[in-house]
A = this chain, B = another copy of it.
């Protein structure tokens, strides 16, 4: 029976039952974490052969480059080739960095503010106002970057196929709108894959700002956990064909392929952009860690080998997502108190609880020892106008712990909904 169809008496009875169940969980003193898209130990152990792949000093050369010494700011050619193949771009369009694609993204925004981008009339710090398009729910760390620079963030709703493009097309007419965040494949948190039509409309935007910065965080480009690898539209080519060759910067990393703390990141953009950014980055660093780049090249080899590894990650991830989705189907679906998507890739399940109950649900979960991403985090400024969206990150806990965590979560979700209905 749906909660909205219950009488007050039925709701009170349900509340009593749930409270007992909740107290039972609480008494167990659980310590469970579904907060971040952090790979689990089994995934880390998958790639242990990388640890001893580069132990011979004579093997530290790659294409004639001594990887132990200074130099090669934009990365070793072999690493560029690997990422170029995976992303479908040219080797000359790749800048291979350190262990963090977030750092490359932050740097791009930071340099836009301090130095300006290739087509900027002036550094953004000289501007009265900088506005930014934020499809939401979205990635909290993206929003934190633009918030940190004092950008005015404009929320654009996500549809099942990507951001609401009519709104985006209207917004870019404002020259103060300088950029847009995107996670085009298995978006964080909803797992939405931008449709080819929407990708094309984005590539064909006609922004008033000559230095509009299309941030294309392809974090989950090879991260299917159901089924085979799904090819994705190549955004650099589409932008070039649309007459916007320098509008887009694409990012990816091996954080969820090899080691989250010790992977390799890449930034892909037009050759003109790579040349411009390399000049600026050359002031800040002599080079990134080429030894780790070489380790990755030796271990991942090529796209085919990398995709085979991703299937092994999928085998670990799949049962975790099923544990979450099965519990939601069983415990929540009949009650009509929440909606959620069924992603086939990425790292999250995004759930829309009854409006006004997300914060309360997560507070209850926390009290019972289940830590989750804070309510509102998936919206600019950390403020969900509906207090409804909740991001579930099933990757880190072992399946048995995850089952307990999601059981607790379901009780909290129900309890918060009953409370809300009783207060109405």
Q: Give the interface of A toward B (CB within 8 A).
A: 36, 38-39, 41, 44-45, 48, 51-52, 54-57, 60, 66-71, 98-100, 102-103, 106-107, 110, 113-115, 123, 125-126, 141, 144-145, 148-149, 255, 259-262, 280, 283-292
Measured between beta carbons, the chain B residues less than 8 angstroms from A103 are 284-285
**Cross-chain contact of A106 among B36, B66, B284 (Cβ < 8 A):** B284
Given contact pairs A68-B44, A114-B125, A259-B291, A100 touches B57 in the complex (Cβ within 8 A): no
Shortest CB–CB separation between residue A265 and chain B, in angstroms? 10
* Cα A290 to Cα B100 with chains together (Å): 12
Given contact pairs A55-B51, A284-B145, A259 touches B44 in the complex (Cβ within 8 A): no
Inter-chain pairs besides A44-B57, A98-B98, A114-B114, 12 sampled, C-beta below 8 Å: A38-B70, A39-B69, A45-B57, A52-B52, A99-B287, A99-B288, A102-B284, A106-B283, A141-B283, A145-B283, A148-B280, A261-B286
Measured between beta carbons, the chain B residues less than 8 angstroms from A55 are 51-52, 55
Measured between beta carbons, the chain B residues less than 8 angstroms from A285 are 100, 102-103, 106
Measured between beta carbons, the chain B residues less than 8 angstroms from A259 are 68-69, 291
* Cα A107 to Cα B41 with chains together (Å): 32
Measured between beta carbons, the chain B residues less than 8 angstroms from A290 are 261-262
* Cα A71 to Cα B259 with chains together (Å): 12
Decide if A262 touches B283 in the complex (CB within 8 Å).
Answer: no
Decide if B289 touches A102 in the complex (CB within 8 Å).
Answer: no
Given contact pairs A55-B55, A98-B98, A125-B113, A262 touches B284 in the complex (Cβ within 8 A): no
Measured between beta carbons, the chain B residues less than 8 angstroms from A262 are 67-68, 289-292
Decide if B261 touches A36 in the complex (CB within 8 Å).
Answer: no
Measured between beta carbons, the chain B residues less than 8 angstroms from A255 are 70
Measured between beta carbons, the chain B residues less than 8 angstroms from A106 are 283-285
Decide if B292 touches A289 in the complex (CB within 8 Å).
Answer: yes
**How many copies of this protein are present in the complex?**
2
* Cα A41 to Cα B141 with chains together (Å): 41
**Cross-chain contact of A261 among B56, B71, B107 (Cβ < 8 A):** B71
**Cross-chain contact of A123 among B44, B100, B125 (Cβ < 8 A):** B125
Decide if B98 touches A289 in the complex (CB within 8 Å).
Answer: yes
Measured between beta carbons, the chain B residues less than 8 angstroms from A115 are 148
Measured between beta carbons, the chain B residues less than 8 angstroms from A56 are 51
Measured between beta carbons, the chain B residues less than 8 angstroms from A291 are 259, 261-262
* Cα A57 to Cα B52 with chains together (Å): 10
Interchain Cβ contacts under 8 Å between A and B, 25 examples: A38-B69, A38-B70, A39-B69, A44-B60, A44-B66, A44-B68, A48-B57, A52-B52, A55-B55, A70-B260, A70-B261, A98-B98, A100-B285, A100-B287, A110-B110, A110-B284, A114-B125, A115-B148, A145-B284, A260-B286, A261-B287, A261-B290, A261-B291, A262-B292, A292-B292
* Cα A67 to Cα B69 with chains together (Å): 24
Complex: chain B residue closest to A147, CB-CB = B283
* Cα A113 to Cα B115 with chains together (Å): 11
Shortest CB–CB separation between residue A75 and chain B, in angstroms? 11
Measured between beta carbons, the chain B residues less than 8 angstroms from A48 are 57
Complex: chain B residue closest to A37, CB-CB = B70
Measured between beta carbons, the chain B residues less than 8 angstroms from A45 are 57
Measured between beta carbons, the chain B residues less than 8 angstroms from A41 are 66
Complex: chain B residue closest to A99, CB-CB = B289
Shortest CB–CB separation between residue A113 and chain B, in angstroms? 6
Complex: chain B residue closest to A279, CB-CB = B148
Measured between beta carbons, the chain B residues less than 8 angstroms from A39 are 69
Given contact pairs A45-B57, A57-B44, A68 touches B260 in the complex (Cβ within 8 A): yes
* Cα A55 to Cα B48 with chains together (Å): 8
* Cα A123 to Cα B45 with chains together (Å): 44
